[in-house]
């Protein structure tokens, strides 16, 4: 999963440890560690805030291996009213819903591609 590697990269670009990185999202060091070490998906609130703080769309976080030049050296000012060490967003804004719908579209598209691929493989197996 590209996301876990990209989380490590931005944390290093921002020169913060897991505990400090987690405070930006109202999460613990253990939360961040689990997102970086495994395929556990971070909460959508974190991903949306990460998109705002990095200027990098969520879809790129999920689909691409980001390069250091793609990432800001420090968090972009988050003007949503939440302090960096405050809780994650409790309300989802209209822009966030649009981003979420885009992400859902990507997931649906990938799911359909996987299904098509599975059908093709099954067809080829049946033909011998």
d(CA 80, CA 111): 33
How confident is the model over 18-44, as pLDDT tens digits? Answer: 999 999 999 999 999 999 988 688 998
Q: Which of 2-16, 57-71, 79-93 has the lowest mean pLDDT?
A: 79-93
Report how far residue 117's alpha carbon sits from residue 107's, in angstroms, rounded to the nearest whole number. Answer: 15
- Closest to 58 (Cα-Cα) out of 14, 106, 90: 106
Q: Which residue has the tokens 């703080």?
A: 53
H-assigned helices in the chain: 2-13, 18-23, 29-37, 44-54, 58-63, 94-127
Query: Per-residue pLDDT averaged across 72-81, rounded?
Result: 69
List the chain domain ranges: 2-127
Which tokens hold the place of 52?
């705002």
Cβ 10 vs Cβ 50: under 8 Å: yes
Q: Which of the four pLDDT bands, split at 50, 70 and 90, describes residue 128? A: confident
């Amino acid at each position: 999963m590209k996301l876990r590697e990209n989380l490590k990269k931005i944390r290093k670009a921002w020169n913060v440890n897991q505990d400090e990185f987690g405070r930006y999202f109202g999460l613990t060091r253990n939360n961040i560690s689990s997102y970086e070490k495994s395929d556990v998906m971070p909460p959508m609130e974190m991903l949306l805030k990460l998109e705002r703080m990095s200027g990098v769309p969520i879809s790129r976080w999920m689909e691409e291996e980001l390069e250091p030049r793609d990432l800001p050296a420090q968090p972009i000012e988050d003007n949503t009213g939440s302090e960096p060490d405050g809780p994650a967003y409790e309300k989802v804004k209209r822009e966030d819903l649009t981003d979420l719908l885009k992400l859902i579209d990507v997931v649906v598209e990938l799911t359909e591609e996987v299904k098509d691929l599975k059908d093709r493989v099954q067809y080829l197996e049946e033909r011998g």
